[in-house]
Chains A and B, each alone.
Chain A
Amino acid sequence: MMDLNLLHISVWANFAAFFLITFLPKNRVKLPPAVALLFSGAGAAASAVLLVRRFGGEMLEWKFPWLTWNSAQVNLGYYLDDLSLVMLTSVCLISFLIQLYSVWYMNEDADKKRFFATITFFTWAMISFVVSVNLFASYLFWELIGLASYLLIGFWHERPAPRRAAIKAFVMTRFGDLGFLAAVILLISHVHNLDIPFLNSQAAALLGPGELLLVIVLLFFGVMGKSAQFPLHTWLPDAMEGPTPVSALIHSATMVAAGVYLLVRLFPMIEVSQGGMHYILFIGAFTSVLAACLALTECDMKRILAYSTVSQLGFMVMAVGSGTWHGGMFHLITHAFFKSMLFLLSGYFIFVAHHSNSIFDMAALPLKEKSKWMLVLLWIGALALSGLFPFSGFMSKESIFGYLLETRQYPVYGIALFISFLTAYYTTRMAFIVSKNGSGPGAGDKRDSPLRGQSLELRVALNLPVTVLGILTVAGVWVFLPWHKEFFHIHTDWHAREWMNLGVTSALVLAGIGTSFFYFGRKSFSEKGWPALIPGLDFLISKKFFMDDFWNAVMEKIVKGFSRLSVWSDAHIINAAVNHVGLACVRSGRAVAELQAGEVQRYILVALLVIVSIIFYLLTR
């Protein structure tokens, strides 16, 4: 009972915050952040207690029937096993830290009320999605996540670029959601019960192999949209137009995580279909390599991080598709922590660089003197993302590598290694360039801090979240290792294969870092590095592999074609239907009016025909 109450608190705290903030007076600018922090802090604390109390224990299922039609029933409620518990806690924790950081970041923004209301709503939707027992309810929250992300990406709607980015994100994810919806409909018509435990245990048996494959492909379509998989990945880099805390939230714990989480959640069902698994594996690997290539020469810090997110998500999807949902999930969690930290840091650096996103503008700043701690954290995050020992990214990637090697999926292993190399390269490129410590304005003046004039609370709001996330990135995995190694299937008894694996991956990561150092670490550094040497690659990257153009063309064709179809159907079907109903009335009226033409003989004829029919009825009776 206690656990259920804790679960209630952690789920509904953010909604309560959203609700309260909505009704706060507009002139009390300090209240919305306070309310948001109070409630989401309570939610995070409740979820942490829940994690300690329940992890490794039995699952908690609490539900009540909501909709019933024919034989199908939709329940509402919670489904809390180890998987959703881990996800719940990280979402609660990360979103709390990000909201804390938002206090600093949004300090000067006028519309705090709207921001905090939306971000708490976003968090609530994500948490509800995570613990929802029913796939139909999951779908509803999935859509709410999409809506909230639209509102947040387009938060600065006065400017055109965020507006466009928000619409793009919304349309692209909606495009994928159609697949999810179709899968839900297909499941409800064939399985009649959308409870996730039921789906995982029974659905594969109830569906034929073809239907199962179709369901998985459709579901994965939704995942493609939300988790920014090829070819629906183009919205994510553009989503950088939103406020940085929003980017951090979207890229770590909510939104993009939802897609991978959905895959992991339904893994027992998906696993049955070999074709579905291969499809997922292929898309994940392709996305991962493509996005990693796009990140190679990017100069916008947030965009580098965005492409790395797409790449890492592809990596997770690939891991899930290759069969290790533990590895995918593990990487999702560790990635959430260090990626949110990196985004928060990027927000800081962009602030320091006078709202420029370019890493070369940051390179011109004397960051080593002014923001030493932030640089240290940046390096921690970058190395974790690269997957270097002993950071958390190493652990999760190692888990995936180990599994791939163990199951002898050597091609996938090779691709994963390649991605790992590219990741190490572009991440440390960013870190090397940002930490160049140039002699920009304010160099040499020790008293001139970037945070000059900001109060203590604000400094805490900035430093505390990134520090906590940094500590978790370095130490978290090791502290919790004995505790969750069962859950994440982590080997501790290492043999030659594991050692070899460690050696190969570390060597590749180090090679990536070394290459990066060769091009960007020294006094004279190039801007683009080795991709500029390969003919064509640079051009392709600068055009983003033509994916934006592709989608523009597709959208043009689809939307315009659909519009034309709508116009046509309006004119020829709807309008014509209305017209013909009217005409039919007029014509039938005219036809009946013929009977009343005033001609005596016609009246008599009708009367006689009636009499004849009566006579014949009586005769043949």
Chain B
Amino acid sequence: MQPFIADFIFFVFAAITVLGAFMAVGLKNIFHNALALALTLLGTAGIFVFLSSEFLALMQVLIYAGAISIAIIFAIMLSPPLAHKPVKRSMGKILISLVTSALILCALSYTFIKAPWPVSAAGEGDYSVAHLGQVLVERYAFAFELISVVLLVAILGAIVIAREEKKNEVVC
């Protein structure tokens, strides 16, 4: 692939990501926000490909764009529309949030640009899914089990919390 074309594609994906992020935050309709979030996640998946993590890009599309954003859209659509009526935004709040996040952006960019990154081991390496799976169940087996338990507990907890309370029944 020509470097120029690769750069251009990278730029397109980055633009999709950032634009989606802006829309996810800035649009007034919550449904549009959720859709824009899915767009951002897809864009991010593209960035992951550029970072040589094809597996992660796949996971991103499957879990994030496929499951999480769909879950959010479900939640939005299942809850009464009254809750999602766009509220008026206060200018002061927008301004101070903008200033704060801009300050953080400046600080981060400054650090990223100025810092002397010791770029070593750049490029080649074993990105294969086989290696990844091996490491995951050998070296990081405990963390793997832990995250599984966390997911299980989260699902159970979500059910318990979201369940409609019946009267005179103690809910733990």
Q: Is the CB of B100 within 8 A of A619?
A: no
Write the nearest CB–CB distance from B108 to chain A, whole angstroms.
Answer: 9
| Residues in chain A near residue B100, CB distance under 8 A | 605, 608-609, 612
| Residues in chain A near residue B103, CB distance under 8 A | 612, 616
| Residues in chain B near residue A611, CB distance under 8 A | 104
Considering only CB atoms, which chain A residue lies closest to B101 in the complex? A608
C-alpha gap A609/B110 in the complex (Å): 17
Indicate whether B96 reaches chain A with its CB closer than 8 angstroms.
Answer: yes
Q: Is the CB of A608 within 8 A of B96?
A: no
Q: Is the CB of A619 within 8 A of B97?
A: no
Q: Is the CB of A619 within 8 A of B96?
A: no
Considering only CB atoms, which chain B residue lies closest to A614 in the complex? B107
C-alpha gap A615/B97 in the complex (Å): 17
| Residues in chain A near residue B93, CB distance under 8 A | 601
| Residues in chain B near residue A609, CB distance under 8 A | 100
- Most chain A CB within a 10 A radius of its CB, from B97, B107, B111: B107
Q: Is the CB of B111 within 8 A of A612?
A: no
| Residues in chain B near residue A619, CB distance under 8 A | 107, 110-111
C-alpha gap A601/B100 in the complex (Å): 12
Considering only CB atoms, which chain A residue lies closest to B111 in the complex? A619
From residue 570 to 621 of chain A, which have CB atoms closer than 8 A to chain B?
A: 601, 605, 608-609, 611-612, 615-616, 619
Considering only CB atoms, which chain A residue lies closest to B100 in the complex? A608
Select which of B97, B107, B110, B111 is within 8 A of A605 by beta carbon: B97
| Residues in chain A near residue B96, CB distance under 8 A | 605
C-alpha gap A609/B97 in the complex (Å): 10
Q: Is the CB of B97 within 8 A of A616?
A: no
A-contact 0/1 string along B73-110, CB 8 Å cutoff: 00000000000000000000100110010011001001
Considering only CB atoms, which chain A residue lies closest to B107 in the complex? A615
Considering only CB atoms, which chain A residue lies closest to B97 in the complex? A605
C-alpha gap A96/B103 in the complex (Å): 91
Write the nearest CB–CB distance from B135 to chain A, whole angstroms.
Answer: 34
- Contacts A605-B96, A605-B97 known; A616 to B107 CB distance under 8 Å? yes
Considering only CB atoms, which chain B residue lies closest to A613 in the complex? B103
| Residues in chain B near residue A616, CB distance under 8 A | 103, 107
- Most chain A CB within a 10 A radius of its CB, from B97, B100, B110: B100
Q: Is the CB of A608 within 8 A of B104?
A: yes
| Residues in chain A near residue B107, CB distance under 8 A | 612, 615-616, 619
C-alpha gap A601/B96 in the complex (Å): 11
Write the nearest CB–CB distance from A619 to chain B, whole angstroms.
Answer: 6
C-alpha gap A183/B60 in the complex (Å): 91
Write the nearest CB–CB distance from A68 to chain B, whole angstroms.
Answer: 58
C-alpha gap A146/B111 in the complex (Å): 81
Write the nearest CB–CB distance from A614 to chain B, whole angstroms.
Answer: 10
| Residues in chain B near residue A612, CB distance under 8 A | 100, 103-104, 107
Considering only CB atoms, which chain B residue lies closest to A616 in the complex? B107
A-contact 0/1 string along B100-129, CB 8 Å cutoff: 100110010011000000000000000000
Write the nearest CB–CB distance from B36 to chain A, whole angstroms.
Answer: 21
Write the nearest CB–CB distance from A443 to chain B, whole angstroms.
Answer: 107
| Residues in chain B near residue A608, CB distance under 8 A | 100, 104
Considering only CB atoms, which chain B residue lies closest to A606 in the complex? B100
| Residues in chain B near residue A601, CB distance under 8 A | 93
C-alpha gap A612/B108 in the complex (Å): 10
| Residues in chain A near residue B104, CB distance under 8 A | 608, 611-612, 615
Write the nearest CB–CB distance from B95 to chain A, whole angstroms.
Answer: 12
C-alpha gap A619/B100 in the complex (Å): 16
C-alpha gap A415/B104 in the complex (Å): 93
C-alpha gap A616/B97 in the complex (Å): 17
Write the nearest CB–CB distance from A447 to chain B, whole angstroms.
Answer: 111
Write the nearest CB–CB distance from A422 to chain B, whole angstroms.
Answer: 88
Write the nearest CB–CB distance from A445 to chain B, whole angstroms.
Answer: 109
Considering only CB atoms, which chain B residue lies closest to A609 in the complex? B100
Write the nearest CB–CB distance from B101 to chain A, whole angstroms.
Answer: 8
Beyond the given A616-B103, A619-B107, A619-B110, please list 4 additional residue pairs across the A-B interface where CB-CB is below 8 A.
A605-B97, A611-B104, A612-B104, A619-B111
| The 8 nearest A-B residue pairs measured at CB | A615-B107, A612-B103, A608-B100, A612-B104, A609-B100, A605-B100, A619-B107, A612-B100
Binding site for A on B (CB under 8 A): 93, 96-97, 100, 103-104, 107, 110-111
Binding site for B on A (CB under 8 A): 601, 605, 608-609, 611-612, 615-616, 619
* 19 A-B contacts (beta carbon < 8 Å): A601-B93, A605-B96, A605-B97, A605-B100, A608-B100, A608-B104, A609-B100, A611-B104, A612-B100, A612-B103, A612-B104, A612-B107, A615-B104, A615-B107, A616-B103, A616-B107, A619-B107, A619-B110, A619-B111
